[in-house]
Amino acid sequence: MVGKDERKFHTSLHVTTITLLLIGIIITSCTLSAIPLALNQNHSVMAQVQQQQQQLHANGNSFQLGNMTFSHNMASVNGIKLHYVIGGHGPPIVLLHGWPETWYAWHKVMPALAKNYTVIAPDLRGLGDSSKPTTGYDTKTVAEDIHQLVTKLGFKTIFLVGHDIGTLVSYPYAAAYPSEVKKLVVMESPIPGFLPPGRLPSWWNILNQVPDVPEFLVQGKEREYLSWFYQNEAYNSAAITQDAIDQYVSHYSAPGGMRAGFAYYKAIPQDTIQNLNFSKTKLTMPVLALGAGYHKYEGNVTLPLDIYSMKKLAQNVTGIILPNTGHWIPEEQPNFITNLFNNFFSGGNSTTKNNK
């Protein structure tokens, strides 16, 4: 349930956001006409950058993470080039990152998981070192990107994990290919179309969906804009290291990076329609839904939205709220969730003790 104070808080944010958007649009109206030319120039630069990235991450480019060996790879799937990191041995786990992050969001959990699993961490379409097409950011299409990657790697069934936008992608993947997802883990994002009644969207959900304006407003200020999220959506902001922030900012500030990230938000209305269709059949595989217990801008969280959503969409859901943890669960609580994953995927039942 959303309390009265929380509703007032979100309503205030909603009104403030709309006001700021109107002011921003008025102030920038005389210069917005230059955006199409700038975007066309960005597309040509983007193509050059993508070629350089693909050369940098040629298949088999190995590196050490923790005490395990991983490699950067590029795969042609669904009409794009998808960058992914792979390492370890055993049954495959696919880790889908959120916004505004890249595969590197999982760097603290990957070494431990790789001891017992083949770990696959892609950069989602348009993000990190993957191709940045102008279309295809609805989560059904992005899920197909990942499915084609899994098929190309020769795996028939997987354990699937999503965080934030990765959760939005993991649901249509599991709904479209239910027999191929043995178990599903979701974290920290509601599924579009399945929010609690009366729940207002966050201010960035509104801003990021406005055509062209957010790209224009944050140009040259990508670090300042993105850092707000790393700081204010965390319980322990020090867990998101400066090295990680540098990596994320360098990718999102590259030509086309912010536009691709915003495209996921602009696709939410399309996602909602697709999810309503998928929801006609509930997921039957075991689902573990993890939610942060605290957000700096919101305070204590009593009903993580991913838990609410999944209980509407799946038959077998274990929901766990992580106390003293913010939005960035893989970086704030890597050891805890690694143990949860190992137990959940191996068939253990201790997670049910903390059912919410």
165 and 296 Cβ atoms separated by less than 8 Å: no
> How far out from the chain centre does Cα 349 lie?
27
Q: How far apart, in whole angstroms, are the C-alpha atoms of residue 5 and residue 342?
A: 38
Say how many domains are in the chain.
1
Domain that holds residue 343: 4-354
The structure tokens 């279309």 sit at 135
pLDDT value at position 198? 86
> For 131-256, where are the alpha helices, taking DSSP H only?
139-152, 165-176, 203-207, 213-218, 222-232, 242-252
Q: Which of 265, 271, 306, 308 is catalytic?
A: 265
Choose, from 10, 72, 97, 327, the residue flagged as catalytic: 327
Q: Which of 107, 105, 108, 103 is nearest to 125 (CA)?
A: 103
Tens of pLDDT along the chain (356 residues) come to: 333 333 333 334 343 444 444 334 333 333 333 334 344 444 444 444 444 444 445 566 999 999 999 999 999 999 999 999 999 999 999 999 999 999 999 999 999 999 999 999 999 999 999 999 999 999 999 999 999 999 999 999 999 999 999 999 999 999 999 999 999 999 999 999 999 998 888 999 999 999 999 999 999 999 999 999 999 999 999 999 999 999 999 999 999 999 999 999 999 999 999 999 999 999 999 999 999 999 887 789 888 999 999 999 999 999 999 999 999 999 999 999 999 999 999 985 444 333 33
Active site residue 264: no
Question: 3-state DSSP call for residue 163?
Answer: strand
**Among this protein's residues, is 164 annotated catalytic?**
yes
Quote the CA–CA distance of 339 and 345 in Å, as a whole number.
10
Q: Please indicate whether residue 243 is annotated as part of the active site.
A: no
Q: What is the CATH number of the domain that holds 212?
A: 3.40.50.1820
What is the residue whose two structure tokens read 């880790």? 95
Q: Say if CB 356 and CB 321 are below 8 A apart.
A: yes
Instruction: Report residue 273 as tokens.
Output: 């329609």
Please tell me which residue in 123, 145, 164, 306 is annotated as part of the active site: 164
pLDDT of res. 348: 56
